[in-house]
Amino acid sequence: MVYVTSWDEFVERSVQLFRADPESTRYSMKYRHCDGKLVLKVTDNKECLKFKTDQAQDAKKMEKLNNIFFALMARGPEVDIAEVTGKEQMEVQPSKKGRGRKQ
């Protein structure tokens, strides 16, 4: 059981773990309200990766990781992760004009 301290490293290693053996890889999360701690765990019965946080802003990161795993499980392990994370989509979208006052 390995606690990974960096979020990016945890995501990268967990995706590699899933792609190596998609049939037996599991992803679980545990939240303890009394401590305010969130623990994410990815395992394939041979290797276990864990990430622990108490920061509320990491909930958005957890949501992105969920989307990555949903795509990997639904489309197959060869799916391009850049499509799921939306990094390229952010650059392509035109800016929205507000309905405020004209200057």
pLDDT in tens, 44-95: 999 999 999 998 888 888 888 998 888 888 888 787 877 766 554 444 455 5
More confident residue, 19 or 96: 19
Domains of the chain (ranges; CATH) run 2-82 (3.30.720.10)
Cβ contacts of 30 within 8 Å, gap of 6 or more: 38, 39, 41
pLDDT in tens, 4-44: 999 999 999 999 999 999 899 999 999 989 988 999 999 99
Query: 48 pairs with which residues across the strands?
Result: 43
The H or E element spanning position 92 is: helix 87-92
Burial status of residue 10 (CB atoms within 10 A of its CB: 0-12, 13-18, 19 or more): buried
Beta-strand relationship, 37-43 and 48-53 = antiparallel
